[in-house]
Amino acid sequence: MSIVQFHDYSKIIKGRVILENINTNFDSGGIYCVIGENGSGKTMMLRAICGLIHPTTGSVTVEGCEINKNNNFPESVGVVIENPGFFNEYTGFENLKLLASIKGQIRDDDIVDALDRVGLDPSDRRTVKKYSLGMKERLGIAQAIMEKPSLILLDEPTNALDKEGKERLENIIREEKHRGATIIIATHDDAFVKDMAEHRLYIEKGRAGEMDEN
C-alpha cells in the first residue's frame, strides 16, 4: 500500500521549475533513498511531502490525505530537513520536551529513549548553543523518531555524523522499519545508499526517474 503518492506534481518558484511532473509512489514500510546532486530537487521532494511547499500543479497525498494549503502537514511524520531549528538557550531534552508538548502524545521516558538511541545524554545540562554540528544532527534525528511516526523524512542525515553516529543512524533506520515506519532519505552519500536503500529514486533538475529496487 502506498503511503505517499505524487501525481503530476510540479512546483515553480519565481519562474524557475523546481520539480517537474513528478509521478511516483512510496509504499508503506520501506527504506527509500532519493538520490541527486545539490540543487537536483531531492530536498524539495521532502518539503512537498511534509507540506512546506505546495504544488503549482498536480498533487501529493500522504496516507490518503492530499497535502495542500488547507491540509498542510501530515498527521504522523518525523522530519529532519536542512538545519533543524532548536532553541539555543535550552538543553537537548528541554527542546524535545517543548516540541512534544505540541501534540502531547509522548512522555518524558520516550524523549529519554530517543536521546539514548542517537547517542546523546538526556541529562546533559549543556544548552544546544554549545552543541557541535554532529550533536545537533543527532538531536534532529531524535526529534524525528521520538513520537514513533508512520513516516520519517531525513535530508542528508549523514553529513555531520562521525562513523559512530552513522552506525547508530543505520541501526535506528532498521529498527524504525521493523516497527513499520516508512523512511525516505534524501542523500548523495553513495556508501550510505549502498548499505541502506531498499528502493532508489534518482532525481535530476527536478525530474524523477523510475524507482529502482535493490
For 43-65, write each residue's pLDDT tens digit: 999 999 999 999 999 999 999 99
Same domain, 1 and 71: yes
Rounded to the nearest integer, the mean pLDDT of the chain is: 95
Same domain, 102 and 195: no
Q: What residues pair up with 71 in beta bridges, in sequence order?
A: 68
Q: What is the pLDDT of residue 152?
A: 98
Answer yes or no: are the C-beta atoms of 187 and 157 closer than 8 Å.
yes
pTM (2 d.p.): 0.95
Answer yes or no: are the C-beta atoms of 3 and 27 closer than 8 Å.
yes
Q: Is 10 exposed, middle or buried (0-12, 13-18, 19+ CB in 10 A)?
A: middle
CB under 8 Å to 24, separation ≥6 — which residues? 6, 201, 208, 211
CB under 8 Å to 6, separation ≥6 — which residues? 22, 23, 24, 25, 45, 48, 58, 59, 60, 208
Query: In this structure, which amino acid lies at residue 9?
Result: Y
Same domain, 26 and 91: no
Report the alpha-carbon distance of residue 67 to residue 131 in Å, rounded. Answer: 34
Same domain, 142 and 91: yes
pLDDT mean over 140-155: 98
Same domain, 17 and 122: no
Same domain, 144 and 100: yes
Same domain, 211 and 154: yes
Same domain, 125 and 161: no
Same domain, 13 and 69: yes
Q: What is the pLDDT of residue 213?
A: 82
Range of the domain at 53: 1-76+149-214
Q: For residue 35, what is its C-alpha cell? A: 538520490
Same domain, 112 and 213: no
Same domain, 104 and 128: yes
DSSP 68: B
Among 96, 123, 148, residue at a domain's last position: 148
Among 133, 148, 163, residue at a domain's last position: 148
Report the alpha-carbon distance of residue 105 to residue 21 in Å, rounded. Answer: 37
Q: How many CB atoms lie within 10 A of CB 134?
A: 15
SS3 138: helix
Same domain, 72 and 162: yes
CATH of the domain at 184: 3.40.50.300
- In this predicted model, what pLDDT tens digit does every residue of 66-116 receive, in sequence order? 998 888 889 899 999 987 789 999 999 999 999 999 999 999 999 999 999
Q: Is 29 exposed, middle or buried (0-12, 13-18, 19+ CB in 10 A)?
A: middle
Among 105, 126, 148, residue at a domain's last position: 148
Report the alpha-carbon distance of residue 203 to residue 135 in Å, rounded. Answer: 29
Structural domain count, the chain = 2
Task: Outline where DSSP puts E strands in the chain.
Answer: 2-13, 16-27, 31-35, 57-62, 65-66, 77-80, 151-155, 182-187, 199-204, 207-208, 212-213
DSSP 105: -
